[in-house]
């Protein structure tokens, strides 16, 4: 275990937010704060991960997560290698563990893994000594997405505790929803969900989450409307009658936002289906913090990499190294 592990108790890996405490989550967000400034510098680089080799093993498509991890690693001066299923021996049937063991034989330190199967990140973490960071596993968790969402909410409101957050849409297939529900509840937010019955898991109330009956009710209730992507690729049919019908009943339009409180903000993890779950004038409108979410993704991932590699939660001195 790293020095950080002893201090914050995060352990070797970041698999999900379910196993973390609210204090640990807030400490990761605090650690991300000084890293925001590094991305605003002319020379966006500090040497805190010099000598660390990180493998980004993305066996499912990704734009935001893959690229922001790569930026985060490069800004911390780590050496990075990117692997996707296309062009690697995964296409020839090599298993996840064999792939990772071969990478370890080349003396790596960390693996950032995205995989289509729930549990893949934990499975890998239990079998290799390198740090493993879950960049999204099936329908299970996407912890760094939720961390960047929490940071964005905290930036806007000053605190997460006491805020009302409604997650709208395809909760059933969403690892983003699951990580956000854990993270928000642990940080003291009130959480609700809203969407078609077919896309809300049975028994979700047992987690401490309310169910709201309509998008209008959700918009009136919340400080943060978290709009999820309709995961068309994970649906085998029958969940919603049609995309047009989904938009008519649950789509977030500027007309519907007329019911919102003055401070209410709109988040979306991306990629968006414009005109399905969210209209363009909302996605690009004044309540949207969708691009600030993406910006925060780099700082949060720098913090996670830094902490798992052994950095201290109070890193100001390390982060200053390298200068503006």
First to last CA, the chain: 32
Which helix or strand (DSSP H or E) is residue 298 part of? helix 290-308
Annotated active-site residue 65? The verdict is yes
145 is a contact residue toward ligand CP (CB under 6 A): yes
Strand bridging mode 53-58 / 110-115 = parallel
Quick one: which of 14, 99, 113 has its CA closest to 57? 113
Residue window 40-69: x/- pattern of binding to ligand CP, with contact defined by CB under 6 A: ----------------------xxxx----
**Least distance between ligand CP and beta carbon 18 (Å):** 18
Q: Which tokens is 198 given?
A: 């077919």
Annotated active-site residue 53? The verdict is no
Choose, by CB under 6 A, the member of 119, 270, 285, 313 that binds ligand CP.
Answer: 270
Cis preceding linkage at 271, omega within 30: yes
Residues 293 and 33 sit within 8 Å (Cβ to Cβ): no
**Least distance between ligand CP and beta carbon 63 (Å):** 4
The C-alpha angle 237, 242, 247, rounded to 5 degrees, equals 130
Residue of minimal Cβ distance to ligand CP: 65
Which helix or strand (DSSP H or E) is residue 3 part of? helix 3-8
233 is a contact residue toward ligand CP (CB under 6 A): no
310 is a contact residue toward ligand CP (CB under 6 A): no
271 is a contact residue toward ligand CP (CB under 6 A): yes
**Least distance between ligand CP and beta carbon 282 (Å):** 18
Catalytic-role residue among 66, 75, 115, 142: 142
* Residues identified as active-site: 64-65, 92, 114, 142
Query: Which residues make up the interface to ligand CP (CB under 6 A)?
Result: 62-65, 136, 142, 145, 269-271
């Amino acid at each position: 275990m790293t020095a950080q592990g002893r201090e914050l108790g995060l352990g070797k890996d970041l698999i999900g937010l379910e196993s973390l405490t609210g204090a640990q989550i807030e400490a990761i967000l605090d650690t991300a704060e000084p890293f925001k400034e590094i991305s605003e510098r002319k020379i966006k680089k500090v040497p805190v991960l010099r000598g660390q080799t990180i493998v980004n093993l993305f066996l499912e498509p990704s734009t935001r997560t893959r690229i922001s991890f790569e930026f985060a690693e490069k800004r911390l001066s780590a050496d990075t290698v990117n692997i996707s299923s296309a062009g690697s021996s995964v296409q020839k049937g090599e298993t996840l563990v064999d792939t990772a063991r071969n990478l370890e034989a080349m003396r790596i330190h960390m693996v950032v893994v995205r995989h289509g199967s729930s549990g893949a990140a934990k499975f890998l973490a239990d079998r290799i000594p390198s740090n493993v960071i879950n960049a999204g596993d099936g329908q299970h968790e996407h912890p760094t997405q939720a961390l960047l969402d929490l940071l964005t909410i905290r930036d806007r409101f000053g605190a997460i505790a006491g805020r009302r957050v409604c997650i709208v849409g395809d909760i059933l297939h969403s690892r983003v929803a699951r990580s956000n529900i854990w993270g928000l509840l642990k940080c003291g937010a009130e959480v609700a969900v809203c969407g078609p019955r077919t896309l809300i898991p049975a028994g979700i109330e047992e987690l401490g989450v309310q169910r709201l009956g309509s998008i209008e009710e959700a918009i009136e209730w919340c400080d943060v409307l978290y709009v999820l992507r309709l995961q068309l690729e994970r649906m085998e049919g029958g969940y919603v009658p049609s995309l047009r019908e989904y938009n008519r009943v649950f789509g977030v339009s500027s007309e519907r936002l007329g019911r919102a409180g003055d401070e209410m903000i709109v988040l979306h993890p991306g990629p968006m289906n414009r005109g399905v779950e969210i209209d363009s004038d909302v996605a690009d409108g004044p309540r949207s913090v969708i691009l600030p979410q993406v910006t925060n993704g780099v700082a949060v991932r720098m913090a996670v990499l830094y902490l798992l590699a052994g950095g201290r939660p109070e890193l100001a001195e390390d982060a200053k190294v390298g200068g503006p």
